[in-house]
Chains A and B, each alone.
Chain A
Amino acid sequence: MTVPAQKPVRKLSMKQRYSALTHDLDWTPTYVTEEEIFPYTTFEGIKVHDWSKWEDPFRLTVEAYNKYQSEKDRRLYAVLDGFAQSQGQLGLTDASYMNAMKIFLQGIPIHEYDAHRNFSYLARYANGPGARFAALCQSMDELRHAQTEIHTLSHYNKYFDGMHDWHKWSDRVWYLSVPKSFFEDAMTAGPFEWLIAIGFSFEYLLTNLLFVPFMSGAAFNGDLPTMTFGFSAQSDESRHMTLGLEAIKFMLEQDEDNLPIVQAWLDKWFWRGYRLISLVAGMMDYMLPKRVMSWKEAFELYFEEQMLNGLFKDLAYYGITPPRHVQWAIDEKEILSHQVYWVLYQYSHAAAFTTTIPNEADQAWLQEAYPETWPVFKEAVWDKAQRVQDAGGRYFNPGLPQLCTVCQIPMGFTEPGDPLTQCQRQSVYEGERYDFCSDGCQWIFDREPTKYRQSWLPVHQIFQGNCGGPTLPDVAAWYGLQPGDGGEYLGSPDHQNWLAWHGQAPKED
């Protein structure tokens, strides 16, 4: 057998192929004006002088995209098959782990689909071929993410509660208005703001905090399919991060008048995204039976080290400063997860996941991860919840919480430096009062009150009679919740089944 001395020579280099198959396929219209073809890229005030300067560092072409994406899918579906065949759900660390995946399924895939829609729009309406093609790839990625996430988690729906009506819940259930309002806020912005909101602030600045520790957490808790779709999606995410970074630099390089517009969007979307992923903080620190790292550590690693000490020094070249309310986020890193999980715990009777008091092992971990703040929260809330439980009860908050008008999270956050005093900010607009959880959310409202006054706030909607009725059973029925979907984990059907599957206790009928 003869071995060729040299590899076959490609006709075109990667650079040339990219150029020929993306930028060179563009043409200059003559029958119609550019404004008629691309009518949506001027109203936001962003000035662009030369769209050809938009480059994709990945230098992807349709051929390369299809080749590698199909390989990613092949690998994923092989894993899903093996997991299902081998009854992999039995090898999870605990059934309570599934609560994290319930929130993920309820809160994320549908908005991957939203992202798919909006990137399709950019793939049509961005003026430059480089931007259009990168948006087209991301649009297809986002569709793939929605599909693979739903497909992967559908296996668990056969065995666990809280996964059957995620689509309906997304439109109705209180905590799911948090991600829904975030993505719909971004989708109803213009194309450049969308790129800063999703492409840059969410994908580049913050998505690592959602996916990386979480998927590593899946790997650590025996959840092979979630780990695999997560890492598979995240490999696309690297391209999305690149698109986000390219987008912000492109805007900043095109015209210096773009700087204040971009900075304000960055200030806004950092805070919107940060508040959204506070749900992840609660999941990471309280819902994973085995934890890879704490929220605090992930925040330091993926945000402070990488972004504040890396990226923002790079962007300083263009005059960009770190996000307006970033110090507030840094100051919250020790308390964020405690506050979020406490909210989830006391309202889980009206949710599609279950919660429970951190057990002995959880508490030991929390003590080690948060030596300063865990004892404060333990005494303030968990010892009381434990006393209620010891007396045969379960603490659920019987009232409805006030929601922040912007992030839509119940008002459970606190004043800086004082972890037990609730923070409440108010603005009055045209005679109506609006309430906020933080300076960040208030600042966002005050910039665009006519947008945020339209918020669909789930608690307001209940009081207005739009959610099935005035009582909890009425609302739960309207949500489409079934017995077992929410409430206390200990003794829940998921818990009982788990014990029965492992021969630890008879299943009670």
Chain B
Amino acid sequence: MSVAAEPRPVGVDLQENEENRALVEAIEADNDDLNIRHMPGMIRLTKTGQLVINQASVEARLGRPWETHEFQLAIISYFGEFVEWDDDQIVIAWKH
């Protein structure tokens, strides 16, 4: 389909702990207009359009290699679709 869908919010809920701090900072840095909501034990990041997690940004803040598979240890839930999950990047968006 070539018709661009109206941009809608997507988001991810992550455990809020020390290990995920660098990840959250990387997501904040790479996604403009990110909405952040704190709940006990967790942090909810939402954004209209698409949400991107870049391996390089996480590694730069973490100071060690980070495989995108490691995102599985942080995630609690999400909405949208994983339109890309590769070695260097994860992208959450709606396809249609």
Give the B-binding residues of A (Cβ under 8 A): 7, 10, 13-15, 57-60, 64, 67-68, 71-72, 75, 208, 211-213, 215-220, 227, 231, 234-235, 237-239, 241-242, 245, 292-293, 305-307, 309-311, 313-317
In the complex, whether B39 has a CB less than 8 A from a CB of chain A is: yes
Contacts A238-B72, A313-B8; is A57 near B82 (CB within 8 Å)?
yes
Which of A13, A215, A238, A292 sits near B87, CB closer than 8 Å? A13
Instruction: Report how many A-B pairs have Cβ atoms within 8 Å.
Output: 110
Query: Are B94 and A314 in contact (CB-based, < 8 A)?
Result: yes
Closest to B69 in A: A64
In the complex, whether B4 has a CB less than 8 A from a CB of chain A is: no
Query: Are B76 and A212 in contact (CB-based, < 8 A)?
Result: yes
- CB-CB under 8 A from B39, the residues of chain A are 213, 216, 292-293
Query: Are B77 and A234 in contact (CB-based, < 8 A)?
Result: yes
Q: Bound state CA distance, A242 and B82, in angstroms?
A: 8
Closest 10 CB pairs of A and B: A219-B41, A317-B96, A306-B79, A219-B40, A57-B82, A220-B40, A234-B76, A216-B39, A314-B96, A314-B94
Q: Bound state CA distance, A96 and B91, in angstroms?
A: 42
Query: Are A238 and B86 in contact (CB-based, < 8 A)?
Result: no
- CB-CB under 8 A from A216, the residues of chain B are 39-42
Which of A58, A72, A241 sits near B77, CB closer than 8 Å? A241
Report A80 CB to chain B, min CB distance, Å.
16
Report B18 CB to chain A, min CB distance, Å.
12
Contacts A216-B40, A313-B5, A314-B96; is A235 near B74 (CB within 8 Å)?
yes
Closest to A305 in B: B9
Query: Are B13 and A310 in contact (CB-based, < 8 A)?
Result: no
Q: Tell me the residues in window 14-53 of chain B with beta carbons closer than 8 Å to chain A beta carbons.
A: 15, 39-42
Q: Bound state CA distance, A137 and B73, in angstroms?
A: 15
Report A192 CB to chain B, min CB distance, Å.
20
Q: Tell me the residues in window 63-93 of chain B with beta carbons closer than 8 Å to chain A beta carbons.
A: 65, 68-70, 72-83, 85-87
Query: Are B42 and A231 in contact (CB-based, < 8 A)?
Result: yes
Query: Are B73 and A68 in contact (CB-based, < 8 A)?
Result: yes
Contacts A309-B8, A317-B1, A317-B96; is A14 near B42 (CB within 8 Å)?
no
- CB-CB under 8 A from A7, the residues of chain B are 65
Give the A-binding residues of B (Cβ under 8 A): 1, 5-6, 8-11, 13, 15, 39-42, 65, 68-70, 72-83, 85-87, 94-96
Q: Bound state CA distance, A57 and B15, in angstroms?
A: 21
Known: A13-B87, A57-B85, A306-B9; 10 extra A-B contacts, CB below 8 A, are: A14-B85, A58-B72, A71-B73, A212-B77, A216-B42, A219-B41, A220-B41, A237-B77, A239-B72, A313-B94
Q: Bound state CA distance, A94 and B9, in angstroms?
A: 38
* Residue of A72, A238, A307, A313 with most chain B CB atoms under a 10 A cut-off: A238
Which of B41, B80, B82, B94 sits near A215, CB closer than 8 Å? B41
Report B71 CB to chain A, min CB distance, Å.
9
- CB-CB under 8 A from B83, the residues of chain A are 57
- CB-CB under 8 A from A235, the residues of chain B are 15, 72-76
- CB-CB under 8 A from A217, the residues of chain B are 40
Query: Are A14 and B68 in contact (CB-based, < 8 A)?
Result: yes
Q: Bound state CA distance, A242 and B79, in angstroms?
A: 10
- CB-CB under 8 A from A292, the residues of chain B are 39-40
- CB-CB under 8 A from A67, the residues of chain B are 69
Q: Bound state CA distance, A80 and B8, in angstroms?
A: 40
Cβ contacts A to B, 26 pairs, < 8 Å: A10-B87, A14-B68, A14-B69, A15-B86, A57-B85, A58-B85, A67-B69, A71-B73, A75-B73, A208-B77, A211-B76, A213-B39, A216-B39, A220-B41, A234-B77, A235-B76, A237-B76, A238-B72, A238-B76, A242-B82, A305-B9, A306-B9, A309-B8, A310-B10, A310-B80, A313-B5
- CB-CB under 8 A from B13, the residues of chain A are 212
- CB-CB under 8 A from A310, the residues of chain B are 8-10, 79-80, 94
Q: Bound state CA distance, A208 and B78, in angstroms?
A: 9
- CB-CB under 8 A from A227, the residues of chain B are 41
Query: Are A238 and B73 in contact (CB-based, < 8 A)?
Result: no
- CB-CB under 8 A from B96, the residues of chain A are 313-317
Query: Are B75 and A314 in contact (CB-based, < 8 A)?
Result: no
- CB-CB under 8 A from B77, the residues of chain A are 208, 211-212, 234, 237-238, 241
